[in-house]
Amino acid sequence: MTTLVFGHSGQLATELRKQGDVVALNHEQADLSDPSHCVDIIKEINPGVVINAAAYTGVDAAEHDEELATLVNGHAPTEMAEISAALNIPFLHISTDYVFDGAPGAPWKPDDTTQPLGAYGRSKLLGELGVRKAGGQYAILRTSWVFSAHGNNFVKTMLRLSQTNNTLKVVADQIGGPTPAGDIAAALLTISSAMTAGNNCSGTYHYAGSPVTNWADFAREIFAQSRKNIDVIDISANQYPTPAKRPENSVMDCSKLLRDFGIEQPDWKTGLARVLKDLENV
């Protein structure tokens, strides 16, 4: 069985290539700004499973380039899901906590009301709606605060800044669950194997690391594990303005994924230790 992955060098696609026997397509091979070409690829390969691990991920850039973000994050996965449904191929798609408004309160459940704060969230929500309407077997996996030894992410940013700063100001009033990309890849491969083996579950799921933390405490753990003496100063999100507003509450209820596929939340501190070890070997 062929597992076709859209994406190649991003955090998640890199981990999928490391962990699974997959056909992973880079941007030149499959440009999501051309959805019809992605459809043709699925028709030609006719894989056992399709995993969309590619996306327009520039949260701030999307505020000025919403048309492209909408094409890549909204229209492309919709058309990919439609052809997958027509060919009876399970379709797995990565989404985000940014589809919610981040209001304080309980952890977000998959069926909670969505209300994106910005262009990136709107584009991802459009993709979700299209995948659901396609009518095939699917899993939309919403995740948050993804990190790995690859690409751009908070862990690598903190380590880079620590090379030239002894003190760093980090936002402390946004909470969530950091999620290792390697664990997301493993979850996707577990879901795809279950689906091809006859598990008929389909729907929207949440997958994020545990325990809940904030960005400042996440940074402290990064420096503690990497044995760096960096003073982290808590600040509010208002003191660190960005073009796109970030959710205040990104905590997600992951119980549905455990119920349907037996997948437990990953311990992000353990995942962080693995990532730091990988970075030492780079």
Of 195, 205, 191, nearest to 256 (Cα)?
A: 205
Report d(CA 253, CA 181) in Å as an integer.
18
Of 21, 228, 192, 20, nearest to 94 (Cα)?
A: 192
Report d(CA 14, CA 53) in Å as an integer.
10
Report d(CA 251, CA 260) in Å as an integer.
20
First and final CA of the chain: distance in angstroms? 32
Composition of the chain by helix, strand, coil, percent to 5: 45, 20, 40
Report d(CA 91, CA 69) in Å as an integer.
20
Token pair, residue 254, equals 């992951």
**If phi over 0 gives left and psi between -120 and 50 gives alpha, with beta otherwise, what is residue 140?**
beta
Of 46, 83, 95, 79, nearest to 205 (Cα)?
A: 95
Given 98, 120, 138, 207, the catalytic residue: 120
Verify whether residue 120 is a known catalytic residue: yes
Angle (CA) 268-53-89 rounded to 5° is 120
Cα 236 to Cα 97, 146, 153, 213: the distances in Å are 20, 21, 20, 15
Cα 159 to Cα 62, 153, 221, 273: the distances in Å are 26, 10, 12, 13
Active centre residues (catalytic): 120
